[in-house]
């Protein structure tokens, strides 16, 4: 058997009580789940299709819109004055991701519209602007079509990205080919979105993650 330190750290070795209303998640103290520990895969699917799915704050992100994402959708609806009975609003991290979904929905003869939200603060040409996202407006009644793509591609906005944009939403402008969806920021930006301390960590964090997964795979092959 592999040494204790090399064992999978996700599951405890014995049954234990967990605090009520608190998820057993890793890293501890963060609500941003990337998976769910439901008894069966069918349980995950059933949860996603249940009428109460929108009352769950955090779970497997491919199957439902977690709380920060739903909150960001609501801010977009308010800013653009969307009627939820006629238009659904879905959030994507990048311009290209939203266009990929739009192209697939248009192949199903579904009319969609793309609105881009971003910080107006200029930055270096080599920098990535994370204080930005895309909203795809889809006619009411086609949620199942969009979720079919959302589940399979897994390229919807993450809860961390949504939370970051939500915290600074009033500083964002929106651009669109339709003038009614082009809006100004509601307040002047109060920080430099290119100076966030976590932005330059991206490459090293990805390398660390790859190394960690490689060590897990190696340790499992030795057991």
Average pLDDT, the chain: 79
Please give the tally of structural domains in the chain: 2
How far apart are alpha carbons 86 and 76 in whole angstroms? 15
Same domain, yes or no: 44 and 90:
no
Domain range for residue 184?
65-194
Same domain, yes or no: 69 and 59:
no
Same domain, yes or no: 47 and 143:
no
Look at the alpha carbons of 74, 154, 49, 66 in this order and tell me if their dihedral is positive or negative: negative
Same domain, yes or no: 50 and 134:
no
Residue 213: enclosing H or E segment and its boundaries? Answer: helix 202-222
On whether residue 5 sits in a domain, the answer given is no
Neighbours of 75 (CB within 10 A): 18
On whether residue 28 sits in a domain, the answer given is yes
Predicted local confidence at residue 169, as pLDDT:
95
How far apart are alpha carbons 61 and 43 in whole angstroms? 15
Same domain, yes or no: 115 and 189:
yes
Same domain, yes or no: 113 and 147:
yes
Q: Using alpha carbons, select from 109, 155, 106 the residue that is nearest to residue 134.
A: 155
Same domain, yes or no: 98 and 154:
yes
On whether residue 43 sits in a domain, the answer given is yes
Same domain, yes or no: 29 and 112:
no
136-164 pLDDT, tens digit per residue, is 999 988 888 888 888 788 888 988 889 99
Confidence of residue 4 (pLDDT cuts 50, 70, 90): very low
On whether residue 221 sits in a domain, the answer given is no
CB 129 within 8 A of CB 194: yes
Same domain, yes or no: 126 and 176:
yes
User: Which of residues 158 and 134 earns the better pLDDT score?
Assistant: 134
CB 160 within 8 A of CB 32: yes
What DSSP letter does each residue of 45-90 carry, written as one string? Answer: HHHHHSGGGGG-SSS-TTTS--HHHHHHHHHHHHHHT--TTTEEEE
On whether residue 3 sits in a domain, the answer given is no
Predicted local confidence at residue 9, as pLDDT:
45
| Average pLDDT of the residues in 81-99 | 90
Predicted local confidence at residue 87, as pLDDT:
87
12: pLDDT strictly greater than 60: no
On whether residue 208 sits in a domain, the answer given is no
On whether residue 109 sits in a domain, the answer given is yes
User: Which of residues 191 and 180 earns the better pLDDT score?
Assistant: 180
| Average pLDDT of the residues in 23-51 | 65
Enumerate the β-bridge partners of residue 183. Answer: 174
Range name among 16-25, 89-98, 131-140 with the lowest pLDDT average? 16-25
Same domain, yes or no: 76 and 182:
yes
Query: E strands along the chain, which residues?
Result: 87-92, 113-118, 132-139, 173-175
Q: pTM (2 decimals)?
A: 0.74
In the block, residue with structure tokens 């009614």: 180
Same domain, yes or no: 78 and 187:
yes
Same domain, yes or no: 55 and 98:
no
On whether residue 190 sits in a domain, the answer given is yes
209: pLDDT strictly greater than 50: yes
């Amino acid at each position: 058997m592999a040494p204790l330190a090399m064992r999978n750290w996700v599951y405890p070795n014995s049954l234990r009580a967990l605090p009520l209303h608190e998820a057993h998640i890793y890293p501890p103290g963060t609500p941003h789940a990337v998976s769910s520990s439901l008894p069966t895969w069918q349980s995950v699917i059933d949860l996603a299709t249940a009428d109460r799915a929108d009352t769950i704050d955090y779970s497997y992100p491919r199957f439902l819109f977690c709380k920060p994402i739903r909150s960001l959708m609501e801010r977009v609806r308010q800013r653009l004055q969307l009627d939820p009975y006629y238009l659904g609003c879905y959030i994507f991290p990048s311009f290209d991701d939203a266009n990929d979904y739009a192209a697939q929905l248009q192949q199903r003869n579904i009319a969609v519209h793309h609105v881009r939200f971003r910080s107006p603060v200029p930055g270096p040409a080599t920098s990535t602007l994370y204080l930005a996202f895309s909203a795809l407006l889809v006619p009411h009644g086609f949620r199942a079509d969009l979720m079919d793509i959302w589940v399979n591609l897994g390229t919807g906005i993450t809860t961390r990205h949504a939370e970051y944009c939500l915290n600074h939403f009033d500083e964002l402008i929106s651009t669109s080919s339709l003038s009614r969806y082009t809006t100004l920021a509601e307040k002047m930006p109060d920080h430099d979105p290119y100076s966030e301390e976590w932005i330059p960590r991206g490459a090293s964090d990805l390398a660390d993650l790859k190394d960690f997964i490689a060590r897990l795979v190696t340790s499992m092959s030795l057991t």
